Amino acid sequence: MNVSPFLPGAAVLARALLAGLVLGLVPSISQAQAGAACERAAVDAGARNACAVLDFQAADTANTILYGDVMRALSAHERPALRRDQSAWSRERIQRCKAAHARDEALSDWPARYHHCLQQATEARRAALMHWLQNGQPPEQR
């Protein structure tokens, strides 16, 4: 892909959109990593769990692609800070979702609840990565 030096964010956005489109073409019945069939219209917990895992994997893949694009766009002295920020965010995401759904672990749909939490956190991370891309630093914490 030939990228204009004046629009580095446009190339990243185009790649992220392409990844989202490709990942969105997953058939309605798929196999999740755990092996259960994902059927969007199903009412059983196994199918809901499988769909939640697939949805999280799609969001995580798009996030990983965007992270890689942002790393390539940053200068060499900015990359270590983003790497530390991304690692801290990833650990925090897992800890936050585990804590939020600890009381639900005995439920049959716990995997769906946990992966939905991970998916939401992953999708929310996009704004921070776009801030890094545009400013070369993390967004200010509130």
Concatenated DSSP letters of 32-50? -TTS-EEETT--SHHHHHH
Kindly list the domain boundaries of the chain, sorted by start residue: 56-135
DSSP 3-state assignment of 29? strand
Rounded CA-CA distance 65/43 in Å is 32
Count of positions (residues) in the chain: 142
Give the pLDDT score at 141. Answer: 64
pLDDT digits (tens), the chain, 142 positions: 444 444 455 555 555 555 554 444 444 334 444 457 888 888 889 999 999 999 999 999 999 999 999 999 999 999 999 999 999 999 999 999 999 999 999 999 999 999 999 999 999 999 999 999 999 888 886 4
Helices (H) and strands (E) in the chain, counts: 4, 2
